[in-house]
């Protein structure tokens, strides 16, 4: 009888639990997230509480939302991927149970889960995320907590553009309840600064588990870049080149892209955050592709610039080579102790000298016209990741090195340079004694780019019906 009951219970829990099968096995572990919460608490000042909200859902079209993307800080600290949640962390253990963390999650709801997907619920938060104290969002209102007893309340910027009707457990409600409980009328700058300083110093250094996912994300993005370099030709559209990247990302298990892909030919390559990707023909132009996958939350950020017909013109080659040399010079200072801001100083110095030599500028201050952005940003859960941008390089930091030169039509230089846009972007890991280029699998030298571009891709053989 006992056995029968156990079987019954097992069957019941399986059928009710709707646990998902065949999931990837390389997600961050609950021990990772528990460890990050511990590290966060270590950096909190005495007698403080930290409050972290999930990101809001956003409308794509009428009653359809964009695919949900979690707040990277929430994901980092919990692994929770659903909206409408709030996490509380305490410096000192609280109450008779001595809890140091509480998460309020979306309530299980069989009806809603049939429509909008599985929910982890309280049990999931305990078993899968390792929380001992978890509640439904609707319990936040009556949760006994006197915010006045804390010396500091640590929180990130509170979104002001979300609404939520009379719902008692959506993000809007959770934020309103928090503001009422903590008597927040105006966002406190020092609370936000405290939060930012803690997450910056944690997230700028990658743990071994994060490094593994970053390596995968960058590696598969390089495979995509290489395949597109082979596949691309004058008759292909920007959008199709973009689509090949997306296909390869998903082939290797990435959820998607870490940012909207930039795939621009000729003049479009001179627009820094070009995102339309809709030129019907790339033609015999340079194609600039700034595309990186997001793999289990971690973003790659790789840019390659390739001549669609497989051969750089003399002018394109001169610009490309200058960007390449700027990158090489920056690599030389990629080591522990270098001030982060020196990376851009070095890139700017090389590009300035090169543009003067080519006769494109005469006044060094004009470098800003053709190289208007910076050379480097941290990379991780956010493509422009958190970190201390005025600090020094440390072991296990990952950042980009991405000089570029963009010369739109009608620029005040010889028109032979017009419509050349070149960026080369690699993802750099600082090691104990040196650095590692995580995106070295994709060619950067102009000779290697030309050689790869001349090859054919599997995608060139694909035939589809005409419409």
Task: Choose the stretch contacting Mn ion; rule: CB under 5 A; options: 129-137, 140-148, 223-231, 294-302.
Answer: 294-302
Q: Whole-angstrom Cα distance, residue 422 to residue 360?
A: 15
Shortest CB 8 distance to Mn ion, Å: 55
> Which one of the listed residues 57, 301, 382, 426 is annotated catalytic?
301
Q: Whole-angstrom Cα distance, residue 81 to residue 89?
A: 18
169 is catalytic: no
139 is catalytic: no
Total chain residues near Mn ion (CB under 5 A):
2
Q: How distant is the alpha carbon of residue 376 from its chain centre?
A: 14
Shortest CB 318 distance to Mn ion, Å: 24
- Residue nearest to Mn ion according to CB distances in the complex: 301
What Å distances lie between residue 73 and 156, 157, 203, 288, 437, CA to CA?
10, 12, 9, 31, 26
Yes or no: say if 459 and 227 are a contact pair by the CB < 8 Å rule: yes
Binding mask 427-446 for Mn ion (x = CB under 5 A): --------------------
316 vs 400 by CB, closer to Mn ion = 400
Q: Whole-angstrom Cα distance, residue 352 to residue 219?
A: 32
250 is catalytic: no
156 is catalytic: no
Shortest CB 165 distance to Mn ion, Å: 39
69 is catalytic: no
Q: Whole-angstrom Cα distance, residue 103 to residue 251?
A: 34
Write out the binding residues for Mn ion, residues 296-355 only, by CB under 5 A: 301
Task: Choose the stretch contacting Mn ion; rule: CB under 5 A; options: 75-83, 187-195, 295-303, 336-344.
Answer: 295-303
Strand partners, 304: 289
328 vs 366 by CB, closer to Mn ion = 328
Residue 400 interacts with Mn ion (CB under 5 A)?
A: yes
> Which one of the listed residues 69, 118, 250, 384 is annotated catalytic?
384
33 is catalytic: no
402 is catalytic: yes
350 vs 375 by CB, closer to Mn ion = 375
161 is catalytic: no
435 is catalytic: no
> Which one of the listed residues 172, 296, 423, 444 is annotated catalytic?
423
> Which one of the listed residues 41, 118, 250, 373 is annotated catalytic?
373
> Which one of the listed residues 101, 290, 294, 426 is annotated catalytic?
290
151 is catalytic: no
Torsions phi, psi for 11 (to 5 deg): -60, -45
Q: Whole-angstrom Cα distance, residue 430 to residue 391?
A: 14
Helix ranges (DSSP H) in 204-310: 208-231, 238-251
Q: Residue 445 CB: number of other CB atoms within 10 A?
A: 13
273 is catalytic: yes
Shortest CB 309 distance to Mn ion, Å: 27
> Which one of the listed residues 156, 242, 294, 425 is annotated catalytic?
425
Shortest CB 275 distance to Mn ion, Å: 14
Shortest CB 326 distance to Mn ion, Å: 15
219 vs 377 by CB, closer to Mn ion = 377
Yes or no: say if 135 and 102 are a contact pair by the CB < 8 Å rule: yes
177 vs 289 by CB, closer to Mn ion = 289
Q: What is the DSSP string of 93-150?
A: EETTTTEEEEEEEPPP-HHHHHHH----HHHHHHHTT--SSEEEGGGTTT----GGG-
Q: Whole-angstrom Cα distance, residue 230 to residue 245?
A: 12
For residue 264, which of 305, 319, 316 has the smallest C-alpha distance? 305
Shortest CB 383 distance to Mn ion, Å: 6
133 vs 374 by CB, closer to Mn ion = 374
Q: What is the DSSP string of 357-423?
A: HTTS-SSGGGHHHH--S-S--B-SSSSS--S-TTSB--TT-EEEE--EEEE-TT-SS-GGGTTEEEE
Indicate which residues carry an active-site annotation.
63, 273, 290, 301, 373, 377, 384, 402, 406, 423, 425
- Kindly list the residues in this chain that would bind Mn ion in the complex (CB under 5 A): 301, 400
């Amino acid at each position: 009888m006992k056995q029968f009951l156990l079987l019954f219970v097992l069957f019941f829990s399986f059928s009710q639990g709707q646990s998902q099968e065949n999931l990837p096995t390389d997600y961050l572990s609950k021990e990772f997230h528990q460890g990050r919460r511990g590290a966060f608490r270590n950096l909190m000042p005495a007698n403080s509480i930290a409050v972290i909200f999930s990101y809001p859902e956003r409308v794509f079209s009428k009653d359809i939302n964009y695919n949900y993307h979690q707040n990277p800080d929430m994901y980092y600290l919990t692994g929770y991927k659903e909206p409408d949640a709030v996490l509380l962390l305490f410096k000192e253990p609280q109450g008779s149970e001595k809890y140091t963390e509480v998460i309020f999650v979306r309530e299980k709801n069989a009806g809603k889960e049939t429509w909008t997907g599985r929910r982890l619920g309280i049990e999931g938060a305990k078993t899968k995320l390792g929380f001992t104290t978890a509640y439904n969002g609707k319990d936040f209102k009556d949760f006994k907590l006197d915010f006045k007893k804390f010396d500091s309340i640590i929180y990130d910027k509170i979104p002001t553009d979300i609404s939520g009707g009379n719902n008692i457990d959506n993000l809007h409600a959770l934020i309103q309840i928090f503001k009422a409980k903590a008597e927040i009328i105006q966002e406190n700058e020092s609370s936000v600064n405290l939060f930012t300083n803690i997450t910056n110093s944690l997230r700028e250094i990658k743990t071994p588990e994060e490094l593994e996912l970053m390596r995968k994300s960058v590696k598969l993005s390089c495979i995509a870049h290489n395949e597109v370099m082979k596949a691309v030709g004058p008759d292909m559209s920007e959008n199709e080149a973009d689509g090949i990247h997306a296909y390869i990302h998903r082939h290797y298990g990435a959820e998607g892209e870490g940012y909207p892909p930039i795939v621009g030919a000729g003049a479009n390559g001179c627009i820094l955050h070009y995102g339309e990707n809709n030129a019907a023909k790339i033609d015999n132009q340079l194609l600039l592709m700034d595309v990186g996958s997001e793999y289990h939350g971690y973003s790659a950020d790789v840019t390659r610039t390739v001549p669609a017909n497989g051969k750089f013109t003399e002018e394109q080659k001169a610009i490309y080579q200058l960007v390449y040399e700027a990158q090489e010079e920056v690599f030389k200072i990629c080591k522990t102790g270098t001030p982060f801001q020196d990376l851009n100083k070095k890139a700017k110095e090389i590009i300035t000298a090169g543009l003067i030599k080519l006769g494109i500028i005469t006044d060094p201050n004009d470098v800003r016209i053709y190289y208007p952005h910076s050379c480097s940003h941290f990379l991780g859960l956010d493509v422009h990741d958190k970190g201390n941008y005025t600090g020094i390089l440390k072991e296990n930091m990952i950042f980009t090195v991405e000089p570029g030169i963009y010369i739109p039509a009608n620029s005040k230089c010889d028109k032979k340079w017009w419509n050349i846009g070149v960026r080369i972007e690699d993802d750099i890991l600082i090691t104990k004694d040196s650095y590692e280029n995580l995106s070295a699998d994709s060619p950067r030298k102009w000779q290697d780019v030309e050689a790869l571009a001349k090859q054919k891709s599997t995608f060139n053989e694909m035939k589809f019906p005409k419409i």
